[in-house]
Chain A
């Protein structure tokens, strides 16, 4: 019989992993389509959390309404992020400049710059400390299941994430939008030649990815009751780790890696002080990069 304590840590790990998965998918989608890393993804997560608590403070809507508000704000921030930080650097669309390192590094820097601006602006507006949230909205009411005590947030996060992931899979597999996203990520130039509007597809990818990121933000914000301007950095790094472990362009890989990461992190607090738990993710990152450079589930890539 497994000690209930481990079972409990395991459930917490799963819901943590689900949140990382939501974020990692945003990264993976954008990386797949543009071949660049979006460093401002962590700030989309923060923006989502802030949008949610502002909605709560303003008119206290029911939970589902908050979810939709956050999704809308996420979509808007993804759209403007693409406009400001990515489109100006996509002036040329021949194959050489699509694959060039200079262009990748320019968008890397510009998204980094946008993330600094967004974070500092939020710090100026709201202050750097924790925001106060209406207690009744927090999703950490305990539920006992036999010997294991979990909170309702675990279930909500799990359900919402599964719904979003399922929806995304459906979108990618069976809709015209999903088809164009897959085409652009497979071969941008080829997609353009067969008449797909690549700019529109890229915007849509940002919108979808940022919706997921923003939703992860509000879920975590309500789960821990901690919303502050720099909250997005660490989950952003971890989602990135999950994406690298999953093999960069594989969505199921990223989800599995995110779950592994979440469970490992939550179980590691049993053996060491929780301040060192972040170390687990960084160790995973280095070990993956050095020993499994293609990721655990990815297709072979030329060079890493």
Chain B
């Protein structure tokens, strides 16, 4: 038993305790619907930032249309709930799979592009999806948006309190971030990092770069779709303006501010960029201007982000514990 392993267990328990005991207790004590909304928004954007981190930070593909896939998920969940009576249990995976399916179709032709060309292609695709959401009035109800009156139902049991909704959102966000965390700190994640560093070299070493890029894009869009479904069910009303280009930039700013390539960094960036404007709400509606300034100064002064990739990897390596210690009894696993 090393010391690091204990810290790892303590850290996990601490995070879970805050998320599932301290925070809900505090929210229930304060008892304001608005605070619930802010906290759930922060959780949903954490998931969005982490899912974008997988594509932009780890696989190195600058993605400027993430909010569109978030929107696809939200619309699938909301329309399935409002028009077809498909509840949360089925609607949530459906939203993720729908977003991933669209990502697959989109990725097939565009994944061969590199750097700025890829960024522009995703911008174009994001705008196309946004136009469809806004103008395909027969299905998406256009700029009026979709109202969703049904609450979250879990296998027949309906959750209607705010506290219950909070627990559902927190559980799903935690589980999703955990999946991405394990995915990106594995051999698979290392393969994705090799794409970012030099995809021609990775190709030459036998890594199927196009397939990996498509997979990373689909996984990321899947979780964006999940986040969209959570958003639709927590607010009960979605409109195309929630998923426009500035939202994509907001998510990207979270990733850049937190540190490209670092999963904990993405969460920190999301919390900062959601909670800071809320804290400054009294000053006026300056959320986006704060986003702009935070983005600019973090690029200028902290180009590696608040919690950059190298410290994050070292941190996570320690959390994994014994696998990286020199242990004469066991065979080594993980990175060397």
B116 at the interface (CB under 8 A from A): yes
CA distance A89 to B296 in the complex (A): 11
By a CB distance below 8 angstroms, the chain A residues around B125 are 282, 286
By a CB distance below 8 angstroms, the chain B residues around A303 are 114
CA distance A42 to B124 in the complex (A): 16
CA distance A109 to B253 in the complex (A): 9
Contact A108 B300 (CB under 8 A): no
Question: In the complex where A240-B120, A279-B131 touch, is A112 in contact with B249 (Cβ < 8 A)?
Answer: yes
CA distance A110 to B109 in the complex (A): 29
Contact A120 B135 (CB under 8 A): no
A19 at the interface (CB under 8 A from B): no
Contact A110 B288 (CB under 8 A): no
By a CB distance below 8 angstroms, the chain B residues around A289 are 110, 113, 117, 120-121, 124
Question: In the complex where A124-B289, A286-B109, A303-B114 touch, is A113 in contact with B119 (Cβ < 8 A)?
Answer: no
CA distance A155 to B303 in the complex (A): 48
Contact A116 B299 (CB under 8 A): no
CA distance A121 to B284 in the complex (A): 12
Question: In the complex where A240-B120, A285-B121 touch, is A110 in contact with B299 (Cβ < 8 A)?
Answer: yes
B128 at the interface (CB under 8 A from A): yes
B44 at the interface (CB under 8 A from A): no
Contact B135 A275 (CB under 8 A): yes
B216 at the interface (CB under 8 A from A): no
CA distance A116 to B294 in the complex (A): 11
CA distance A283 to B300 in the complex (A): 35
A304 at the interface (CB under 8 A from B): yes
Question: In the complex where A116-B246, A116-B249, A117-B289 touch, is A293 in contact with B117 (Cβ < 8 A)?
Answer: yes
In the assembled complex, how far is the CB of residue B88 from the closest CB belonging to chain A, in whole angstroms? 32
B49 at the interface (CB under 8 A from A): no
New A-B pairs, 18, CB < 8 Å, besides A113-B253, A237-B127, A275-B131: A37-B120, A101-B115, A104-B116, A110-B296, A116-B249, A116-B295, A117-B296, A119-B288, A124-B286, A241-B124, A285-B124, A286-B110, A286-B125, A289-B113, A290-B109, A293-B113, A304-B113, A304-B114
Question: In the complex where A106-B303, A113-B295, A282-B128 touch, is A237 in contact with B289 (Cβ < 8 A)?
Answer: no
By a CB distance below 8 angstroms, the chain A residues around B135 are 273, 275-276
Contact B289 A120 (CB under 8 A): yes
Question: In the complex where A116-B291, A116-B292, A117-B289 touch, is A88 in contact with B123 (Cβ < 8 A)?
Answer: no
Contact B299 A37 (CB under 8 A): no
By a CB distance below 8 angstroms, the chain B residues around A95 are none
Contact B288 A244 (CB under 8 A): no
A interface residues, tally (CB under 8 Å): 39
Contact code string A77-96 (vs B, CB < 8 Å = 1, else 0): 00000000100110000000
B256 at the interface (CB under 8 A from A): yes
What are the nearest 6 A-B pairs in CB distance?
A116-B292, A113-B296, A117-B292, A120-B289, A113-B295, A282-B124
Q: Name A106's contact: one of B128, B134, B285, B299 (CB within 8 Å).
A: B299
Main secondary structure of the interface of A (DSSP, over half): helix
Q: Which of B124, B246, B284 has the most CB of A within 10 A?
A: B124
By a CB distance below 8 angstroms, the chain B residues around A109 are 252, 256, 295, 299
In the assembled complex, how far is the CB of residue A132 from the closest CB belonging to chain B, in whole angstroms? 22
In the assembled complex, how far is the CB of residue A257 from the closest CB belonging to chain B, in whole angstroms? 14
Contact code string B122-145 (vs A, CB < 8 Å = 1, else 0): 011101100100110000000000
B62 at the interface (CB under 8 A from A): yes
A233 at the interface (CB under 8 A from B): yes
CA distance A110 to B299 in the complex (A): 7
B29 at the interface (CB under 8 A from A): no
Contact code string A223-262 (vs B, CB < 8 Å = 1, else 0): 0000000000100010011001000000000000000000
By a CB distance below 8 angstroms, the chain B residues around A104 are 115-116
B293 at the interface (CB under 8 A from A): yes
By a CB distance below 8 angstroms, the chain B residues around A114 are 292, 296
CA distance A119 to B291 in the complex (A): 12
Q: Which of A114, A279, A283 has the most CB of B within 10 A?
A: A279
Closest to B294 in A: A113
Name B286-311 residues within 8 Å CB distance of A.
Answer: 286, 288-289, 291-293, 295-296, 299-300, 303
CA distance A114 to B252 in the complex (A): 15
Closest to B301 in A: A88
Question: In the complex where A113-B299, A285-B120, A286-B124 touch, is A108 in contact with B292 (Cβ < 8 A)?
Answer: no
By a CB distance below 8 angstroms, the chain A residues around B249 are 112, 116
CA distance A267 to B121 in the complex (A): 24
By a CB distance below 8 angstroms, the chain A residues around B116 are 37, 104, 108
Contact B123 A237 (CB under 8 A): yes
Contact code string A156-179 (vs B, CB < 8 Å = 1, else 0): 000000000000000000000000
Closest to A84 in B: B296
By a CB distance below 8 angstroms, the chain B residues around A283 are 128
Contact B289 A282 (CB under 8 A): no
Contact A116 B128 (CB under 8 A): no
Question: In the complex where A110-B299, A110-B300 touch, is A116 in contact with B114 (Cβ < 8 A)?
Answer: no
Contact B286 A120 (CB under 8 A): yes
In the assembled complex, how far is the CB of residue A234 from the closest CB belonging to chain B, in whole angstroms? 9
Contact B123 A117 (CB under 8 A): no
CA distance A279 to B134 in the complex (A): 12
9 contacts between A and B (CB under 8 A): A37-B120, A106-B303, A117-B289, A117-B293, A124-B284, A279-B131, A290-B110, A290-B113, A304-B114
Q: Which of A101, A109, A244, A273 has the most CB of B within 10 A?
A: A109
CA distance A116 to B115 in the complex (A): 22
